[in-house]
């Protein structure tokens, strides 16, 4: 039965990975940009919430509210200043600039806050520790369920946004053919900036949950980035619901690996990732080479 519990825990963990991967999927889907600073932006979000908590005695979820518009602006600014120019020079350059950005963010965080490992679990109160004992062997943690729920809401919300709203349609059109989008009145630059803003804000949400669920420190970004990527790629690049599926597959792989031996947890995730990539479909919801 502990195996079943492992799967359940994996599904819950997958919610976090899906949330982490969501922003990455948006940026890649719309602009073909691999944002190597994504994990660091999530960590930045966590630190900003921590700063708010230092000044106000509220729940971290409330503290997230003022952080979100800040992160939206950060994303917008990022796109307009750095990423837009990088895009023009070809597909390689955004990789390089976001890598540089990643290093800058990590070290600025180190400079501003100490290298101490922190957690926001304490401030979150009972949510962080409560759990629901389903059976003798299976328990569902409150925070795990919450993250999964939020992930589904965010992904669902994004999907609705893309398919039902004019701004969402414009984003899809620009993703498929930015040149022609301009010819039908869509401001491609603004669309890209919106996409990055959304991606960075979602990263902050993911960062908060990561901080509550476990810990964070200035250099925690790259690890989260890899998990986010694995979630997106396993699910199939360019599919939002695929990111949820990918996150869950990754989470389950890790928890089952941990059941065998705690040291194998992350490795199991890596192996599943490589196996999925190597398979003919190249991803759960994608066809190799297909775009959005």
> Is 277 among the residues that bind another protein (CB under 8 A)?
yes
Q: Shortest gap between Cβ of 99 and another protein (angstroms)?
A: 6
Cross-strand partners of 216: 118
Residue 192 interacting with another protein (CB under 8 A): no
The residue within the footprint of another protein, chosen from 13, 19, 22, 36 (CB under 8 A), is 36
185 binds another protein (CB under 8 A): yes
Distance CA 98, CA 62 (A): 30
**Applying CB under 8 A, does 114 fall inside the site for another protein?**
no
CA distance 85 to 83: 5
- With CA atoms as reference, report the closest residue to 241 among 32, 31, 29: 29
The answer to whether residue 273 forms part of the interface with another protein (CB under 8 A) is yes
Map residues 241-270 to x or -, x wherever contact with another protein holds by CB under 8 A: ----------------------x--xx--x
**Judged by CB under 8 A, which of 57, 92, 133, 136 binds another protein?**
92
Q: Give the integer Cα–Cα distance in Å for 196 and 77.
A: 9
| DSSP code per residue over 138-166 | -EEEHHHHHHHHHHHHHHHHHHHHHHHSH
Distance CA 198, CA 71 (A): 9
Cβ at position 132, least distance to another protein in Å: 33
Backbone angles phi, psi at 248, to 5 degrees: -65, -45
Nearer to another protein, 91 or 134 (CB): 91
Contacts of residue 115, defined as CB under 8 A and 6 or more positions apart, other chains included, come to 217, 218, 219
Are 10 and 255 in contact, with CB atoms under 8 Å apart? yes
For another protein, which residue of 50, 63, 233, 249 counts as binding (CB under 8 A)?
A: 233
For residue 190, give the H/E element and its range: helix 188-213
Within a 13 Å sphere around the CA of 230, how many CA atoms are in the beta-carbon half?
Answer: 28
| CA 177 to chain centroid | 25
Q: What is the DSSP letter of 264?
A: G
Q: Is 54 in the site for another protein (CB under 8 A)?
A: no
Taking CB under 8 A as the criterion, the residue among 72, 173, 214, 241 binding another protein is 173
Q: Which segment (135-143, 162-170, 192-200, 247-255) binds another protein by CB under 8 A?
A: 162-170
Report the residue from 13, 15, 18, 28 that binds another protein according to the rule CB under 8 A: 28
Check binding of 187 to another protein (CB under 8 A): yes
Residues that bind another protein (CB under 8 A): 28, 32, 34, 36, 82, 85-86, 89-93, 95-97, 99-104, 106-108, 110-111, 166, 169-170, 172-173, 176-177, 179-188, 222, 226, 229-230, 233, 237, 263, 266-267, 270-271, 273-274, 277-278, 282, 288-289, 292
């Amino acid at each position: 039965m502990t195996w079943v519990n492992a799967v359940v825990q994996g599904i819950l963990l997958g919610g976090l990975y899906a949330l982490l991967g969501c922003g990455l999927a948006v940026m890649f889907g719309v602009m073909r940009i691999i944002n190597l600073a994504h994990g660091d932006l999530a960590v930045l979000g966590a630190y900003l919430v921590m700063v708010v908590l230092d000044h106000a005695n509220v729940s971290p979820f409330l503290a997230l509210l003022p952080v979100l518009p800040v992160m939206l602006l950060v994303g917008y600014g990022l796109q307009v200043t750095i990423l837009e120019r990088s895009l023009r020079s070809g597909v390689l350059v955004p990789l390089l600039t976001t890598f540089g950005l990643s290093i800058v963010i990590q070290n600025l965080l180190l400079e501003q806050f100490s290298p101490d490992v922190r957690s926001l679990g304490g401030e979150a109160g009972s949510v962080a520790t409560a759990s629901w004992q389903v059976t003798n062997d299976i328990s569902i943690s409150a925070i795990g369920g919450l993250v999964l729920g939020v992930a589904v809401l965010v992904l669902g919300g994004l999907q609705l946004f893309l398919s039902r709203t004019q701004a969402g349609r414009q984003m899809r059109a620009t993703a498929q053919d930015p040149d022609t989008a301009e010819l039908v009145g869509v401001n491609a630059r603004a669309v890209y900036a919106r996409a990055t803003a959304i991606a960075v804000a979602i990263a902050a949400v993911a960062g908060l949950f990561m901080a509550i669920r476990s810990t964070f420190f200035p250099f925690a970004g790259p690890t989260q980035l890899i998990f986010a990527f694995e979630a997106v790629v396993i699910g199939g690049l360019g599919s939002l619901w695929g990111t949820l599926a990918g996150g869950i597959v990754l989470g389950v792989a890790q928890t089952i690996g941990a059941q065998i031996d705690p040291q194998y947890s992350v490795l199991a995730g890596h192996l599943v990732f490589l196996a999925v990539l190597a398979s003919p479909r190249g991803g759960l919801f994608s066809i190799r080479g297909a775009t959005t």
